[in-house]
Each structure stands twice: as C-alpha cells, then as structure tokens.
C-alpha cells in the first residue's frame, strides 16, 4: 500500500513527532518500503482465526483494590525536567 507524504505528516502529528520539512520525503520513502513489505500479510488466509494479543493467551490477573504502594512523589519528581510545589510544570495550555 503506497502512502502519500501528507499522510505521513498526519501520522507524525498523531505520534507527536516533529519531522523537518527537508526530511519528510526520505521518511515517506522508507515507510512506503516497510508497508510494502508487510503487505504480504494480505495474501494470508485468516478466515475464522482469532487474533492473538498474548503468546500464552493469558488474561490480566485481578487483585484486591487496596493501597500497596507508598507515596514516593519526591523521588519521582526529583528526576522531572520542571516541577513546582509538587506539580509537574508544562507550558501554558489555556490562553
């Protein structure tokens, strides 16, 4: 399946990855190659085959809804790029 440059721009936006304008052509070409390779899947007969998400077909275990972790906010915030008063700082979201 061919992919157009504007589609790559849309995907990059969904993935929140900026791509330089002078690189977008190269990125598009390489991703087209990869999608072309994976297109071999389309020829496989998978009618009636249940999709497999986990190799052991395991399901998520449940546990009691109890607090098991201690509060380690300081340790976690010590490695953050920007914090203030126990909050993570980001640029202003609402003008």
Partner 1 sequence: MHRHSVAQLVQGLRDKQFSSTELTRHFLDRIAALDGRYNSYISVPETAAMDAAAAADRRLAAGDAAVLTGIPIAHKDIFCTDGLRTSCGSRMLDNFVPPYDATVIQRFKRDGAITLGKTNMDEFAMGSSNESSFYGHARNPWDPERVPGGSSGGSAAAVAARLAPAATGTDTGGSIRQPAAFCGITGLKPTYGRISRLGMIAFASSLDQAGPMARTAQDCALLLNTMAGHDPLDSTSAAVATEDYTAALDNSLEGLRIGLPREYFGEGLDAATGALVDSALKELTALGARLVEVSLPHSHLTVPAYYVIAPAEASTTLSRFDGVRYGHRCADPVDLHDLYTRTREEGFGDEVKRRILVGTYALSAGYYDAYYKKAQQVRRLIKQDFLDCFEQVDVIAGPTTPGPAFKLGEKSDDPIAMYLEDIYTLAVNLAGLPGMSVPAGFVQGRPVGFQLIGRHFDESRLLNIAHRYQQATDWHLQEPPEVAEGSA
Residues in 18-77 that interact with partner 1 by CB under 8 A: 18-20, 27, 30-31, 33-35, 37-42, 44, 46, 49-56, 58, 60-61, 63, 72, 75-76
CB of 90 to partner 1, least distance (A): 6
Residues in CB range of 36: below 8 A, 6 or more apart: 1, 2
Check residue 6 for interaction with partner 1 (CB under 8 A).
no
| Burial of 25 (C-beta count, 10 Å sphere; 0-12/13-18/19+) | exposed
Check residue 87 for interaction with partner 1 (CB under 8 A).
no
């Amino acid at each position: 399946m061919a992919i157009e440059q504007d589609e790559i721009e849309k995907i990059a936006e969904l993935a929140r990855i900026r791509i330089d304008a002078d690189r977008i052509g190269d990125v598009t070409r390489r991703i087209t190659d990869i999608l072309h390779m994976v297109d071999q899947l389309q020829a496989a007969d998978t009618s009636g085959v249940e999709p497999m998400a986990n190799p052991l077909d395991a399901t998520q275990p449940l546990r009691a809804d109890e607090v098991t972790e201690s509060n380690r906010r300081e340790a976690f915030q010590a490695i953050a790029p920007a914090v203030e008063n126990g909050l993570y700082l980001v640029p202003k979201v609402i003008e």
